Amino acid sequence: MKTKRIAFFTLILFFAIVIGYIVNVIFFSSSRDFAGLNGEVLLMQGDAAPEFPVVRYNPRTKKTFEIKDIYYYPQYNVNSKNNIIAIIDENNMQNIYELSSGDGSSYSRKRLIYSGRDVEHPKFVPGKDSISFIEDNKLFYYDIEIGGEPVFISNMSSEYYDWLDSDTVLYSMDAGEGNYNIMAYNIANRKAVIFKNNALAPALSINKKFLAYRLSNDSSVVILEQLNTVGPQKSIKVNAQGILPYKPSPDGKYLAGAVYNLSKTDVIIINVDTNKTRTIFPSMLPAVIDWKS
């Protein structure tokens, strides 16, 4: 009887160890996958947005702040990360403002930069007091100090573009038969060259160290490259029909993106080394995602 009792308790102990191991693998390894998260993610919810379409999200604490005012296409100012650039509808015009951060749920207007119609996706140019934006499906460059008329860059096949450096903007160009190329336009010499073949939707980290883009022939794969270094690309595949938009974290360890299927879109964060995912906003279709340190 004593031997049976010992064997019984030994068996219970064995199962407890196995269950503990499984719990550790499932839960604690998942926590380790996202232990390095930091900074702040900025999102604008899509066309069917609620009353306050812009939210700020702290990926470390998982806290969300809804912005009280109505801003469209917000992006962090790459030259002053506490400020954002965004569009405000006023008097049937789309006005581009730089806004400075207040408390967790508000911004204050710092300066009016440009007024137009059908203006979308403004961005600051790194290292310059200049911006770019899309108006009537055309990409423009605007020097704030000089003023005057914006400089036309290109017709746009897609609204996804980003600045590689202070002189070079990357954007997608339809190459026909369902293919796209990423073009690089130099604002100094006003010339465009192919930067990446069979690729589209470039998105750079706010510090311009990491470039993410999608392949023309596979909407579920994002390629992540560390710029100005020799090293392998990282291929990130999502278990969904596709992913867009997306943004690399400043350290290049994570990618925030909207994964979509036929009837549902979720905003997730992906560990680019392990391909593990964390859903941060279920059933949200964002028009903009940005991430600052």
Pair (26, 111) in one structural domain: no
Q: Are residues 218 and 277 in the same domain?
A: yes
Q: What is the pLDDT of residue 46?
A: 74
Give tens-digit pLDDT for 271-292: 999 999 999 999 999 999 999 9
**Do 105 and 23 share a structural domain?**
no
Pair (65, 83) in one structural domain? yes
Which pLDDT score, from 0 to 100, does residue 77 have?
97
60 and 24 fall within a common domain: no
Residues 21 and 112 in one domain: no
Instruction: Say how far apart CA 270 and CA 267 lie, in whole Å.
Output: 10
Distance CA 84, CA 196 (A): 29
* Of 267, 263, 262, 261, the residue nearest 285 (C-alpha): 267
User: 119 CB contacts (<8 Å, ≥6 apart)?
Assistant: 87, 94, 96, 133, 134, 135
Stretch 213-230: mean pLDDT: 94
Q: For the residues 44-54, what does the mean pLDDT come to?
A: 70
CATH value at residue 264: 2.120.10.30
**Do 85 and 51 belong to one domain?**
yes
Domains: count for the chain: 2
Residue 242 burial (10 A CB sphere; 0-12, 13-18, 19+): middle
pLDDT band of 4, cuts 50, 70, 90: low
Q: Please determine, for residue 164, whether its predicted confidence score (pLDDT) is greater than 80.
A: yes
End-to-end CA distance of the chain: 64
pLDDT band at 231 (very low <50, low <70, confident <90, very high): confident
Cα–Cα distances in angstroms (integers) from residue 29 to residues 19, 21, 32, 120, in the given order: 15, 11, 5, 41
* Same domain for 209 and 177: yes
Closest CA to 57 of 80, 33, 79, 74: 74
Same domain? For 168 and 51 the reply is yes
Total residues belonging to the chain: 293
Rounded Cα–Cα distance for residues 168 and 162 (Å): 9
> What does pTM read for this prediction?
0.87
pLDDT (average), residues 179-184: 97
Q: Please state, in angstroms and rounded to a whole number, the distance separating the CA atoms of residues 44 and 49.
A: 8
% of the chain with per-residue pLDDT over 90: 78
What is the chain's mean pLDDT, rounded?
89
13 and 105 share one domain: no
Task: State residue 195's pLDDT score.
Answer: 98
Q: Mean pLDDT throughout 77-97? A: 95
Between residues 187 and 4, the one the model is more confident about: 187
pLDDT greater at residue 230 or residue 130: 130
Check pLDDT > 90 for residue 52. no
Q: Does residue 114 carry a pLDDT above 50?
A: yes
Question: How confident is the model at residue 21, as a pLDDT?
Answer: 43
Q: How far apart are CA 107 and CA 72, in angstroms?
A: 13
Residues 59 and 177 in one domain: yes
19 lies in the same domain as 134: no
Structural domain range at position 7? 1-33
